[in-house]
């Protein structure tokens, strides 16, 4: 915008002497041509983003679940509209809380989003922001307007959560909370969990025993402390069962 301001001054100053002095007429015409050119460049800047370039920035942060149910972490979202294409995710900030036992403030994201499950221990949010920036200092001097910011063209939020997490809509989370508090459901889940965990632990131990007998040193090492191994397997399958059971309850 500095160029336009300068040309306006030249244009007006030259026309002040336009009627009397021929050199000033020439200067005025020249300034008028440059002024027209500056308007043309300004139109290109606004219409085709002349002097601008797109830059992309990735901001990655560790997040905590919206809430926890029966030891299973939940990431909850609220669908917007009827198509379910736009969602508002609610999550908690970084795991380093300023106060022991206190969760960070709930945060939301209302941009294009996606969720991927992985074997990672912690959940992360990567916010990819694409916006216009000036190609160089000259473009900034010519086109920058004081007090204004260049437009952001796109923001995409990508959540990466452990496989042990559940990603639920707000309605599913409400149904889950109600179903999990039902005494009948609690008794049923306890019985089913015992059967599920026992069957899978016995199956794994049997498989490891067969491998150890065949000379598999890794299996032999695992079976060296069978009590600890059994406890580890039981905890693993307890988590797996709980996740499956809660997902089923949230869908009813």
Residues 117 and 32 in one domain: no
Instruction: Look at residues 146, 169, 192 and tell me which one is the last residue of a structural domain.
Output: 169
150 φ, ψ (degrees, to nearest 5)? -70, 150
What percentage of residues in the chain have a pLDDT greater than 90?
17
pLDDT tens for each residue of 17-54:
555 555 556 666 676 677 777 777 777 877 788 888 89
**Per-residue buried b or exposed e for 118-132, using 16+ beta carbons within 10 Å of the residue's own CB:** eeeeebebebbbebb
- What is the gyration radius of the CA atoms in the chain, in angstroms? 32
Count of the separate structural domains present in the chain: 3
Predicted confidence at residue 145, as pLDDT, reads 75
Predicted confidence at residue 98, as pLDDT, reads 42
Residues 85 and 160 in one domain: yes
Per-residue pLDDT at 147 exceeds 80: no
Q: How many C-beta atoms surround the C-beta of residue 139 within 10 A?
A: 16
Per-residue pLDDT at 160 exceeds 90: yes
Task: Work out the mean pLDDT of the chain and round it to a whole number.
Answer: 80
Bridge partners of 60, per DSSP, are 126
18 domain residue, yes or no: yes
Per-residue pLDDT at 112 exceeds 70: yes
Residues 102 and 144 in one domain: yes
Residues 44 and 67 in one domain: no
Residues 62 and 123 in one domain: yes
Confidence at 9, pLDDT banded by 50, 70, 90 = low
Per-residue pLDDT at 152 exceeds 60: yes
194 domain residue, yes or no: yes
Per-residue pLDDT at 99 exceeds 60: no
Residues 190 and 164 in one domain: no
What's the token pair of residue 128? 């990819």
11 domain residue, yes or no: yes
State the average pLDDT over residues 51-69: 88
Predicted confidence at residue 48, as pLDDT, reads 81
Residues 60 and 157 in one domain: yes
Residue 225's alpha-carbon distances to 44, 155, 197, 219, in angstroms, are 74, 51, 19, 11
Predicted confidence at residue 202, as pLDDT, reads 93
**Do 75 and 66 form a contact (C-beta atoms < 8 A)?**
yes
The whole domain housing 140 covers 55-169
Give the chain as a 3 state SS string: CHHHHHHHHHHHHHHHCCCCCHHHHHHHHHHHHHHHHHHHHHHHHHHHCCCEEEEEEEEEEEEECCEEECCEEEEEEEEECCCCCEEEEEEECCCCCCCCCCCCCEEEECCEEEEEEECCCCEEEEEEEEEEEECCHHHHHHHCCCCCCCCEEEEEEEEEEECCCEEEEHHHHHHHHHHHCCHHHHHHHHHHHHHHHHHHHHHHHHHHHHHHHCCCHHHHHHHCCHHHHHHHHHHHHHHHHHHHHHHHHHHC
Predicted confidence at residue 187, as pLDDT, reads 92
Residues 66 and 158 in one domain: yes
Residues 44 and 59 in one domain: no
- How far apart CA 169 and CA 164 sit, in angstroms, is 17
Per-residue pLDDT at 151 exceeds 70: yes
Residues 60 and 143 in one domain: yes
Confidence at 104, pLDDT banded by 50, 70, 90 = very low
State the average pLDDT over residues 110-115: 76
- How far apart CA 165 and CA 75 sit, in angstroms, is 7
153 domain residue, yes or no: yes
**Do 125 and 80 form a contact (C-beta atoms < 8 A)?**
no
176 domain residue, yes or no: no
Per-residue pLDDT at 193 exceeds 80: yes
């Amino acid at each position: 915008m500095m160029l336009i301001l300068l040309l306006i001054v030249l244009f007006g100053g030259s026309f002040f002497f336009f009627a009397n002095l021929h050199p000033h007429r020439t200067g005025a015409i020249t300034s008028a041509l440059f002024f027209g050119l500056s308007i043309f460049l300004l139109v290109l800047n606004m219409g085709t983003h002349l002097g601008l370039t797109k830059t992309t920035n990735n901001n990655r942060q560790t997040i905590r679940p919206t809430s926890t149910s029966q030891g299973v972490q939940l990431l909850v979202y609220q669908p917007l509209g009827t198509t379910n294409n736009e969602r508002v995710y609610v999550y908690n900030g970084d795991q380093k809380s300023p106060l022991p036992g206190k969760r960070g403030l709930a945060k939301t994201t209302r941009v294009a989003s996606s969720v991927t499950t992985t074997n990672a221990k912690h959940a992360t949010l990567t916010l990819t922001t694409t916006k216009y920036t000036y190609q160089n200092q000259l473009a900034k001097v010519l086109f920058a307007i004081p007090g204004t910011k260049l437009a952001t063209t796109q923001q995409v939020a990508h959540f990466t959560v452990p496989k042990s997490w559940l990603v639920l809509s707000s309605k599913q989370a409400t149904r889950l909370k109600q179903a999990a508090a039902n005494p009948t459901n609690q008794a049923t889940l306890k019985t089913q969990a015992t059967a599920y965990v026992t069957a899978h632990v016995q199956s794994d131990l049997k498989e490891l025993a067969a491998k150890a007998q065949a000379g598999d040193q890794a299996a032999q090492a695992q079976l060296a402390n069978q009590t600890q191994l059994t406890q580890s397997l039981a905890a693993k399958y307890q988590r797996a069962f709980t996740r499956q059971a809660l997902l089923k309850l949230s869908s009813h």
